[in-house]
Amino acid sequence: MRIDIITVLPELLKSPFEASILKRAIEANLVEIHFHNLRDYASDKYKSIDDTQFGGGAGMVMMVEPIDKCISELKSKRDYDEVIYMTPDGATLNQGIANQISLKQNIIILCGHYKGVDQRVREHLITKEISIGDFVLSGGELAAAVLCDSVIRLIPGVLGNETSALTDSFQDNLLAPPIYTKPRDYNGWKVPELLFSGNLPEIERWREEQAYQRTKTLRPDLLED
Ligand code: ADE
């Protein structure tokens, strides 16, 4: 998978890709990340990428031209499956969306800033709009990092244990069951006995029941659809 990220703040985005699982995925050539500084596509000497709103109103708007130039240049080199715009009024990211995107070959992610982008970018260049929640960040970079993390860990081979992404919370619309490791008894705080029984079908049933009960208590909305 190849991800091209268009941003005015590449430095804000780099560190998540320089550590941990994302770094390993890049080093193993399972994913390529390329950053494009939108200012490199500005057409004036001030490297402007935004301007005031037509019709008046507070806040700057990101202009069509630099974004179009950057996306056109990328598209001239390869085909893209999606051009994603990170915006608080997009579809809220969930595991289903992350799963879908993890199956793509090439994607572009555009990070918004200021008030957002000129509507014509959304109408003519963007194929998917994604939010990471009902709150407003100062730019789309951190949201893009969240999206990339949720997607990249699903690419086969990225996680050490191939099955571990499948047992994550949300993968089957249920929260994950509780998990335990050594010691078996920590100052009287005990691990459920059943987990030492060696009875794997019984343990599996217990985990499913725990997952269901936790979901019913904490996130009943997940059981509705
Ligand atoms: N840009 C600003 N806020 C955002 C959010 N909540 N999700 C995605 N992009 C954003």
pTM for the structure as a whole: 0.94
Distance 75 CA to ligand 1 centre (A): 25
41 vs 48: CA distance, rounded Å: 9
**Could you tell me where the beta strands, DSSP code E, fall in the chain?**
2-7, 32-37, 50-52, 60-62, 82-92, 106-111, 128-131, 185-186, 189-190
Nearest CA to 55 out of 114, 146, 2, 119 is that of 119
Q: Where residue 163 falls among pLDDT bands split at 50, 70, 90?
A: low
**What is the fold, at CATH topology level, of the domain defined by 169-224?**
Trp Operon Repressor; Chain A (1.10.1270)
Residues 6+ apart with CB under 8 A from 138: 113
Region 161-189: mean pLDDT is: 87
Q: Is residue 87 within 6 Å of ligand 1 at its C-beta? A: yes
Residue of the CA atom closest to atom 6 of ligand 1: 88
Ligand 1 mutation target, pool 86, 109, 142, 146, most atoms within 8 A of CB: 86
Q: Residue 162 above 90 pLDDT?
A: no
If pLDDT is split at 50, 70 and 90, which confidence band does 144 have?
very high
Three-state SS at 100? helix
CATH of 2-152, one of 3.40.1080.10, 3.40.1280.10, 3.20.20.80, 3.40.190.100: 3.40.1280.10
Q: With bands split at pLDDT 50, 70 and 90, how would you rate the model's confidence at 14?
A: very high
Ligand 1 site, residue 133, Cβ cutoff 6 A: yes
Rounded to the nearest whole angstrom, what is the distance from the C-alpha of residue 204 to the centroid of ligand 1?
38
Distance of CA 206 to the CA centre of its chain: 31
Exposure letters 66-104 (e unless 16+ CB within 10 A, then b): bbbebbeebeeeeebbbbbbbbbebeebebebbeebbee
Determine the atom of ligand 1 nearest the C-alpha atom of 134: 6
Mean pLDDT within 135-140: 96
Q: Is the pLDDT of residue 4 over 80?
A: yes
Instruction: Quote the percentage of the chain above a pLDDT of 90.
Output: 91
Whole-number pLDDT of residue 23: 94
| Domains in the chain: boundaries | 2-152, 169-224
Atom of ligand 1 nearest to the CA of 112: 1
Q: Tens of pLDDT along 30-89?
A: 999 999 999 999 999 999 999 999 999 999 999 999 999 999 999 999 999 999 999 999
- In eight-state DSSP terms, residue 57 is -
